[in-house]
Amino acid sequence: MTPAPDRHFPNWFRMELAPVDDIRSDALRAGLAAWRNARGEREMPARRDLDPTAMPGFLLRHLLLIDVEHAPRLRLRWRLIGTHVTEMMGRDSTGRYWDELYPPEIADILATGPAAAMRTRGPVRTLGVAPAGDRSYLRSENLDMPLSSDGETVDMIMVVSDFGRR
């Protein structure tokens, strides 16, 4: 079942890829360092390799985890959404599948970073313009980083998002 159009996502909502080398946010830099530290010499870390107690406290507010289900079809589910994101977006969608929350055209835009992280098997930075509640819009800087419990299949995406009001 396709969800009804969401008034939170007007037609100017967008997300575009940006160079990882140009990270502006301290939260994204801390997230990338945590991902690289957990990865070690492997291509991708597993979720079990990430230790939240070893991460800077401010990072956890910006952290999101996306479950990636591959069978019987690809589905994404918000496993964890940090308080910075829920406060800025005005809602908490933890535990919800994307195809139950968003119309296909919005899910496709939101999947820009996760899809690229799954494809490249490495960190991907995006810049976005997102509507949020009654605010006109928010600018976001996001870093999507793949996680793999078996070292082969991306089964989770670690995301760090930093929003600013505009």
Cα 134 versus chain centre, distance: 22
Over residues 78-107, mean pLDDT: 92
- The rounded distance, in Å, linking the Cα atoms of 147 and 49 is 9
Domains of the chain by residue range: 14-165
Task: State residue 99's pLDDT score.
Answer: 94
How confident is residue 106, by pLDDT bands cut at 50, 70 and 90? confident
Q: pLDDT at position 138, please?
A: 80
| Model confidence pLDDT, tens digit, residues 58-83 | 999 999 999 999 999 999 999 999 99
Is 4's pLDDT higher than 60?
A: no
The CATH architecture of the domain made up of 14-165 is: 2-Layer Sandwich (3.30)
Q: Are 160 and 33 in contact (CB under 8 A)?
A: no
CA distance linking residue 124 with residue 91, whole number of Å: 25
Model pTM?
0.89
Instruction: Give the Cα separation of 146 and 26 in Å (integer).
Output: 20
